[in-house]
């Protein structure tokens, strides 16, 4: 989701087909203040999953997938990423079932950030 103000409202539909809207609600999505790597979802997955991450500043970001024995399987992101919240999809249909490690490496003006998490692929 991009940084900014968003307005939304809900629509309630009854069984008889009548409906009513809620009042408007405004939320503000602010820029992240720290680097983060979220747990992929769904997990376990077959064959695709999503990895979300955030960067508090423009940074050089690499997100890689490794096998359980440390072999590089795939690079999902490799380049400059703007401040904000991001997500990337990973399709593992060519791989065998098992546990994989995904890792973010980010280098920005405030320093370096590295974090790893596990994901499980089940065919």
**Mean pLDDT of successive 10-residue stretches along the chain, which has 123 residues:** 85 94 92 94 96 96 96 96 94 95 95 96 93
What is the pLDDT, as a whole number, of residue 4? 84
pTM of the model: 0.81
pLDDT at residue 29, as a whole number: 85
Q: Determine the topology of domain 31-121 in CATH.
A: Immunoglobulin-like (2.60.40)
Q: For residue 12, what are its two tokens? A: 């309630």
Contact at 8 Å (CB) between 112 and 106? yes
Distance CA 93, CA 91 (A): 6
């Amino acid at each position: 989701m991009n940084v900014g103000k968003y307005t939304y409202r809900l629509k309630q539909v009854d069984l008889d087909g009548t409906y009513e809207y809620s009042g408007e609600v405004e939320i503000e999505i602010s820029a992240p203040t720290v680097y983060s790597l979220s747990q992929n979802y769904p997990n376990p997955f077959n064959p695709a999953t999503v990895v979300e991450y955030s960067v508090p500043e423009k940074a050089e970001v690499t997100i890689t997938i490794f096998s359980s024995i440390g072999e590089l399987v795939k690079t999902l992101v490799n380049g400059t990423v703007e401040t904000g919240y991001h997500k990337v999809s990973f399709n593992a249909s060519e791989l065998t079932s098992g546990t994989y490690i995904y890792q973010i490496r980010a280098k920005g003006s405030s320093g370096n950030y590295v974090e790893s998490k596990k994901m499980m692929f089940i065919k």
